[in-house]
């Protein structure tokens, strides 16, 4: 839940506009309580969490009052702090004076520790929120040993911990150091089992008590692990293998039909949403009938460089991917070709729309009609990088921006209109991970260092670049941009988040998110935690409402930046709140430290600053 923004770099910002004074809500000196405040964060319920030499505490974000203080949790590692989405719980790690590192889960409301790894020297890596099973699944790692823990959302207590053995391989150990999880496939939940796929291993646990029901180790890396509830079967594909295996999820018994053999190497197995499994391999793709466990088509459909198959209402879209050309074909439900064609360049994204197949390649982009595969747009678009994408909910159109050009796409008709050509955004190039947002009848384009706004006619209202006056040294870079983040060796860069936005638009999930007004007071339940009573009813323990916990970044009219203003030999630091539509500064907070530790709360328009490692101040903007 992106309800809190944290900035790593200070930003240089010079602008004009009316600046209003901010209201100081409260100020708290914690020197006596914590001696020295190492860091502050914000929990999902709004409380400010402060860590120091004398423990960990929570401040009421409205009053500054200390709500709880745990004196044992001294010098908690800030890098380990992580909120659990939609709940007033957070994870952290600390090392007692006498003892090994401990991973803990804390209830932010009262400070109670709801889970503790104790002296096992375990870290909490990843978590999976599973509301339909009323649980959270946590990955635990300690001294090379892997565990999973099932945490109940009914009782807020650990149900069981299961062991998965030692971590294997140098790469896996490096990933562990970098904080990455070890579950590669799943978790898969059947009626009675939890199934987890690791790099080369499969574990099946009893969902009730965590006992191991069965496990197996593959010869090579697991490429696909898919459960079908249509026939209660588990499908396994191993890298480089020409055999597809089928197992009973409850026993691990091999029930592979004799005729289910691969002609090439496995690429993927997906559910088409029509009662079939789609088997994609290097030699083509076919449908598996869950009832018989055998192929439905006598012959697999094949195209060169086959890499992806996308089910859609009328059949299947088969896509081959090569650096110079990408074949694409429409296949009907019987496995027969409707049409096929070659697209120049590498297709790095394809999406079924109502009018046809929208594709983005390194050479061109267009929509191919479902009937004959002809171009829907009269002219191709060439994106040099992944375009910034947003959805105009008022016009019901998808907006693209890249390389100075902006377009509007009607998803109903496929009509494309260019609204801007050769415009310049300050310091933006093809490597810039530019993202977009629909705000106040216009389009806001941004990164941590860039702010630009374009009206619906394509006119640039303003464009600003915020240069960082200092950088953080000594850190190794682990993030990747563009297709490199997907392991694709093609020179196309930009923010992968834009591809996720396109997918959300296609699925209809982005429409609801964007159809919200700033300051809306409506409160609808997003997620709830309930406890069963002896009478069989459920009583609410904690309810998360849209008003407080929705992702407000897409509904607010302002962006926060931190700047260091150079004047008369001094370098005062400010937090600015900038109007997205105008670029003007309308609020500012002067800071005492050059590099303060602070939290920006977009939900309540507040800023909380930790200065001189002892004073925490809350401001209302």
Tens of pLDDT along 61-95? 999 999 999 999 988 988 899 999 888 899 999 88
- Give the range with max mean pLDDT: 2-11, 216-225, 527-536: 216-225
Confidence check: pLDDT of 294 > 50? yes
Least confident of 3-12, 280-289, 437-446, 598-607: 3-12
Please give the share of the chain, as a percent, with pLDDT higher than 90.
37
Report how far residue 160's alpha carbon sits from residue 95's, in angstroms, rounded to the nearest whole number. 24
**Closest C-alpha to 105, from 87, 130, 132, 131:** 87
Cα-based torsion angle of the residue sequence 450, 456, 459, 465 in order, rounded to the nearest 10 degrees: 0
Continuous segment of H or E residues that includes residue 509: helix 509-514
| Structure confidence at residue 9 (pLDDT) | 28
| Structure confidence at residue 354 (pLDDT) | 85
| Structure confidence at residue 11 (pLDDT) | 30
| Structure confidence at residue 566 (pLDDT) | 56
Confidence check: pLDDT of 162 > 90? yes
The three-state DSSP-derived secondary structure of 145-206 is EEEEEEEECCCCCEEEEEEEEECCCHHHHHHHHCCCCCCCEEEEECCCEEEEECCCEEEEEE
**Three-point CA angle 373, 375, 378, nearest 5°:** 165
Confidence check: pLDDT of 266 > 90? no
Report how far residue 206's alpha carbon sits from residue 195's, in angstroms, rounded to the nearest whole number. 9
| Structure confidence at residue 201 (pLDDT) | 94
Does residue 29 or residue 523 have the better pLDDT? 29
Average pLDDT, the chain: 79
Report how far residue 287's alpha carbon sits from residue 297's, in angstroms, rounded to the nearest whole number. 7
Report how far residue 373's alpha carbon sits from residue 370's, in angstroms, rounded to the nearest whole number. 6
CB 582 within 8 A of CB 17: yes
Report how far residue 404's alpha carbon sits from residue 272's, in angstroms, rounded to the nearest whole number. 38
pTM over 0.85: no
pLDDT tier at 15, thresholds 50, 70, 90: very low
Instruction: List, in order, residues 6 or more apart from 89 with CB less than 8 Å away.
Output: 44, 83, 105, 106, 107, 108, 114
Average pLDDT of span 606-620: 87
| Structure confidence at residue 48 (pLDDT) | 94
CB 242 within 8 A of CB 182: no
| Structure confidence at residue 558 (pLDDT) | 81
Confidence check: pLDDT of 153 > 50? yes
| Structure confidence at residue 106 (pLDDT) | 95
Average pLDDT of span 41-46: 90
* DSSP-derived 3-state class of residue 67: strand
Length of the chain: 621
Does residue 210 or residue 172 have the better pLDDT? 210
Confidence check: pLDDT of 506 > 70? no
Least confident of 169-183, 195-209, 298-312, 467-481: 467-481
| Structure confidence at residue 265 (pLDDT) | 79
């Amino acid at each position: 839940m992106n309800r809190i923004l944290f900035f790593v770099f200070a930003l240089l910002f010079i602008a004009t506009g009316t600046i209003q004074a901010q209201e100081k809500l409260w100020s708290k000196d914690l020197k006596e309580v914590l001696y020295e405040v190492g860091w502050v964060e914000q929990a999902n319920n709004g409380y400010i969490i402060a860590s120091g030499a004398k423990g960990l505490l929570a401040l009421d974000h409205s009053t500054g009052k200390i709500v709880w203080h745990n004196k044992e949790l001294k010098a908690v590692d800030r890098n380990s702090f992580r909120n659990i989405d939609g709940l007033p719980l957070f994870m952290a790690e600390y090392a007692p004076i006498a003892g090994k590192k401990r991973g803990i889960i804390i209830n932010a409301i009262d400070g109670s520790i709801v889970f503790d790894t104790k002296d096992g020297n375990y870290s909490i890596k990843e978590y999976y929120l599973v509301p339909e099973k009323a649980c959270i699944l946590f990955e635990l790692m300690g001294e090379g040993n892997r565990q999973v823990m099932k945490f109940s959302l009914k009782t807020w207590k650990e149900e069981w911990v299961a062991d998965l053995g030692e971590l294997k391989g140098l790469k896996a150990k490096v990933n562990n150091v970098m904080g990455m999880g070890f579950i590669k496939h799943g978790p898969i939940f059947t009626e009675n089992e939890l199934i987890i796929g690791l790099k080369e291993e499969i574990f099946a646990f009893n969902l009730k008590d965590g006992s191991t029901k069965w496990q197996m180790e593959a010869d090579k890396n697991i490429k696909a692990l898919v459960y079908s509830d249509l026939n209660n079967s588990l499908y396994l594909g191993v890298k480089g293998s020409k055999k597809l295996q089928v197992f009973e999820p409850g026993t691990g018994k091999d029930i592979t039909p004799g005729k289910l053999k691969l002609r090439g190497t496995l690429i993927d197995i997906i559910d088409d949403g029509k009662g079939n499994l789609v088997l994609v391999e290097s030699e083509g793709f076919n449908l598996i009938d869950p009832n018989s466990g055998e192929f439905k088509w006598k012959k697999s459909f094949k195209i060169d460089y086959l890499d992806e198959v996308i089910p859609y209402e009328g059949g299947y879209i088969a896509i081959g991917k090569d650096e110079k050309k990408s074949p694409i074909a429409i296949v009907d439900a019987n496995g027969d070709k409707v049409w096929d064609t070659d697209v120049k360049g590498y297709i790095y994204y394809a999406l079924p729309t109502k009018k046809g197949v929208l594709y983005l390649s390194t050479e061109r982009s267009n929509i191919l009609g479902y009937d004959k595969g002809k171009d829907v747009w009269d002219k191709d678009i060439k994106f040099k990088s992944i375009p910034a994408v947003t959805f105009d909910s008022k016009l019901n159109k998808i907006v693209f921006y890249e390389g100075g050009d902006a377009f509007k796409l009607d998803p109903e008709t496929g009509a494309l209109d260019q609204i801007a050509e050769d415009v310049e955004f300050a310091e933006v190039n093809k490597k810039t991970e530019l993202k977009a947002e629909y705000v106040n009848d216009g389009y806001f384009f941004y990164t941590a260092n860039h702010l630009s706004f374009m009206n619906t006619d394509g006119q640039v209202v303003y464009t600003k670049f915020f240069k960082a006056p200092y950088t953080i040294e000594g850190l190794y870079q682990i993030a990747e941009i563009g297709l490199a983040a997907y392991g694709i060796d093609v020179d196309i860069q930009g923010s992968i988040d834009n591809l996720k936005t396109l997918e959300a638009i296609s699925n209809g999930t982005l429409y609801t998110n964007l159809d919200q007004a700033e300051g809306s007071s409506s409160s609808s339940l997003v997620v709830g935690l309930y406890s069963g009573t002896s009478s069989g009813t459920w009583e609410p323990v904690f309810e998360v409402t849209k008003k407080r916990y929705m992702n407000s970044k897409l509904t607010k009219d302002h962006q926060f930046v931190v700047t260091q203003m150079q004047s008369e030999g001094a370098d005062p630091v400010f937090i600015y709140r900038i109007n997205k539509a105008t670029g003007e500064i309308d609020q500012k907070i002067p800071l005492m430290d050059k590099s303060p530790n602070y939290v920006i709360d977009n939900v309540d328009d507040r800023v909380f600053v930790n200065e001189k490692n002892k004073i925490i101040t809350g401001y209302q903007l």
